[in-house]
Structure 1
Amino acid sequence: MKAVVCARHGAPETLEIRDLPQPVPGPGEVLVKVAAIGLNFFDTLIIRDLYQVKPELPFSPGAEYAGHVAALGEGVTGFAVGDRVCGYQTYGAARAYVAAPAQFLAKVPDDLDLVKAAGLIVTYGTALYALRDRGELKAGERLAVLGASGGVGLAAVELGRVLGARIIACASSPDKVRFALEHGADEGFDYASGDLKAALKAFGGEKGLDLVYDPVGGDMAEQALRALGSLGRFLVVGFAAGEIPKIPLNLLLVKNCDARGVAFGTHARANPGWLRDAVAELMGYARDGRISAHVDKTFPLEHCAEALGEISGRRVKGKVVLTIAD
């Protein structure tokens, strides 16, 4: 089978395409013939050995995928050969076949495109876990989303709308801001246009912001935190800017607010039942048109390096997905 392989840590250009033996599903596992693989920002880090999860070499990137059940391991129930499924794992999905524990798979409805299904789990799962579980977002609250046109940012805008929030979408260009507004944000802010803290304070009003969703980090983080109101929550989602901010803890004390980490992967791996229910909920939203599951670009599996380069270069709105011809 064809597989994208990281044999040595480095830039996307160091990835290789290899022919590997097709896996055999073990007890409790399902063999999936993969049709599409969702890529994420952390894939650009894991191949450079800059991510918190550090798989042994060689490995394949890719944490989410969709396809058809090809075979069942001993003891598997609830799935049949030919079923349309999607699945989550931290890495290893960028290959033609994946043998995965059945508990980390979900069925995909016939009317939901497999390419969209492959890009749903990580970004929208992260946003759902962040906003509802960690952020305790309530209808009518004011939410600021940084990096609002990227995968996890766009997901937060759309799910924030589903959850009834008022949303200001912050991004690095007028075009990206317009994109977020088209997907449900109430207001937008281009980082280059002025003072982020002032814009967020104006949006938050006298009470201040209730929630900040930050997958960017860098020097924007503290500005956004300073716009929180009392009992506000700052969600630490990631560090796409490449710099982990050092937040003065006295701000949490003085503002009477919280900073909360959002580790979707850790939560999903420890709670497969939660993951299964979350994916089913998200697929329902996608079928109903409440979220777009927007895929900006697709690339053949063999062009994985080019696809990851698009993510690294911040040229993506929503998701990038690899596809495998049948």
Structure 2
Amino acid sequence: MRAAQVITLDGPAAIEIREVEEPSAATVFGEQCVVDVHAVGVAFPDLLLSKGEYQMKPEPPFTLGTDYAGVIRSAPADSGFKPGDRVAGVGLGGAAEVAGSSAAMLFPLPDSLSFEKAAAMPMNYLTAQFALKTRAGIQPGETVLIHGAAGGVGTATIQVAKGYGARSIAVVSTDEKAEVAARAGTDEVIRVEEFRDRARSLGVDVVMDVVGGDLFTDSLRALAPFGRLLVVGFVGGEIPELKINRLLLSNIDARGVNWGGYTFVRPGYMRAQWDELLPMMEAGVIDPPIGDVLPLESISQALIDLEERRTVAKTVLTLGR
């Protein structure tokens, strides 16, 4: 089968499309599900994995693909899945024509979701759900401000916030990204160049920050009393520093969001998250915005575009099925 593989840890340009053996249902840990992959979501962890910079560090060669969707080819009798079931998957190895996975890392798909949209979901939407519900304790009627709102986690946060009855404000850098955030359902859009001037007057309850960088302090200023700033990532490249007296003086919190570190050691947690999101999918509140749809062979360029912040919405790779 074809698979997008990391051979050397030299970044996305060094990824190769190779012919490799298909995964078997039998593993040293017992039987696993085998999935015929239809679509793969381009995700930030794949970029880090290609450089050896992710928290999980598999030895090359290995197959990329942390988000994917397809159809069950075979499954253990006690897995809850059967051949023909449509699923989304998260983990590693999805950027191939066939993927092997434990049932715990697979999720059932509503018929209303295409494989392309499903491949845009697992990591981004489970991260957004964990951030808003578990870390922020989001309540109906609260307001969430989202940096990097046109990216995959950003658009997911807009929609999950709406599913919980919250209002969203999207911070974006271009007209194109403003359109993506609006299409995702945000209630208000702010251009990044006006955010600093408006921050003190916003009084939001939650800030979702995947960017980091020099707007961090202004994000704290944007919080109302008892507000929560969620530290999700640093795609802007700079890790900001926090003077903790700001938290004391304003009665606000800064909270870390490490979805992977929390969920991967808690069997069943991800499926519980997915089950909470399913009604939002079925109601159409969750409808992932898709950017470019490209063949698997375009994975290197797609990850380079992601690294250089040219990506709008979620890029999806297809396997030609």
Alpha-carbon offset, residue 218 of structure 1: 0.9
Match of 1:32 in 2: 35
Q: Which amino acid aligns with 1:22?
A: E
**TM-score normalized by structure 2?**
0.93
- Alpha-carbon distance change, 280 to 322 in structure 1, aligned in 2, over 3 angstroms: farther
Match of 1:124 in 2: 125
Match of 1:88 in 2: 90
Corresponding position: 1:214 with 2:205: no
Equivalent residues of 1:28, 1:76 under 8 A apart? no
Corresponding position: 1:144 with 2:139: no
Equivalent residues of 1:106, 1:276 under 8 A apart? yes
Take 1:176 and 1:31, find their aligned partners in 2: how far apart are those partners? 37
Give runs of aligned pairs for residues 229-244 of structure 1, distance below 5 A.
Answer: 229-244=224-239
Take 2:90 and 2:240, find their aligned partners in 1: how far apart are those partners? 29
Residues 157-183 of structure 1, C-alpha deviations (whole Å, 9 max, x = no match): 122122222322101123312332343
Corresponding position: 1:305 with 2:306: no
Alpha-carbon offset, residue 231 of structure 1: 1.5
Q: Which amino acid aligns with 1:107?
A: P
Match of 2:257 among 257, 262, 273: 262
Q: Which amino acid aligns with 1:274?
A: Y
Equivalent residues of 2:107, 2:271 under 8 A apart? yes
Alpha-carbon offset, residue 280 of structure 1: 3.4
Equivalent residues of 2:289, 2:313 under 8 A apart? yes
- Alpha-carbon distance change, 313 to 152 in structure 1, aligned in 2, over 3 angstroms: same
Take 2:235 and 2:282, find their aligned partners in 1: how far apart are those partners? 30
**TM-score normalized by structure 1?**
0.92
Alpha-carbon offset, residue 249 of structure 1: 1.8
Match of 2:53 among 44, 50, 58: 50
Alpha-carbon offset, residue 117 of structure 1: 1.1
Q: Which amino acid aligns with 1:203?
A: L
Match of 2:202 in 1: 203
SS at match of 1:280: helix
Residues 3-45 of structure 1, C-alpha deviations (whole Å, 9 max, x = no match): 1111111231110111111111222411111111112123222
Question: Percent same amino acid at aligned positions?
Answer: 37
Aligned residue pair count:
318
Equivalent residues of 1:29, 1:101 under 8 A apart? yes
Match of 1:106 in 2: 107
The 4+ residue runs of structure 1 with deviation greater than 4 A are none
- Alpha-carbon distance change, 189 to 111 in structure 1, aligned in 2, over 3 angstroms: closer
Take 2:165 and 2:122, find their aligned partners in 1: how far apart are those partners? 21
Alpha-carbon offset, residue 287 of structure 1: 3.2
Take 2:140 and 2:74, find their aligned partners in 1: how far apart are those partners? 44
Take 1:59 and 1:212, find their aligned partners in 2: how far apart are those partners? 36
Take 1:178 and 1:24, find their aligned partners in 2: how far apart are those partners? 44
Take 1:110 and 1:188, find their aligned partners in 2: how far apart are those partners? 31
Match of 2:275 in 1: 280
Take 2:266 and 2:184, find their aligned partners in 1: how far apart are those partners? 30
Corresponding position: 1:135 with 2:136: yes
SS at match of 1:316: coil
- Alpha-carbon distance change, 279 to 149 in structure 1, aligned in 2, over 3 angstroms: same
Alpha-carbon offset, residue 283 of structure 1: 4.0
Residues 234-276 of structure 1, C-alpha deviations (whole Å, 9 max, x = no match): 1011111011111122212222221111111223312342211
Of stretches 11-20 and 221-230 in structure 1, the one that deviates more from structure 2 is 221-230
Match of 1:294 among 271, 289, 296: 289
Q: Which amino acid aligns with 2:288?
A: A
Equivalent residues of 2:110, 2:281 under 8 A apart? no
Match of 1:187 in 2: 188
Gaps of 5+ in 2: none
Q: Which amino acid aligns with 1:80?
A: K
Take 1:253 and 1:233, find their aligned partners in 2: how far apart are those partners? 13
Equivalent residues of 1:63, 1:93 under 8 A apart? yes
Residues 45-83 of structure 1, C-alpha deviations (whole Å, 9 max, x = no match): 22112222222111222212111112235x544222222
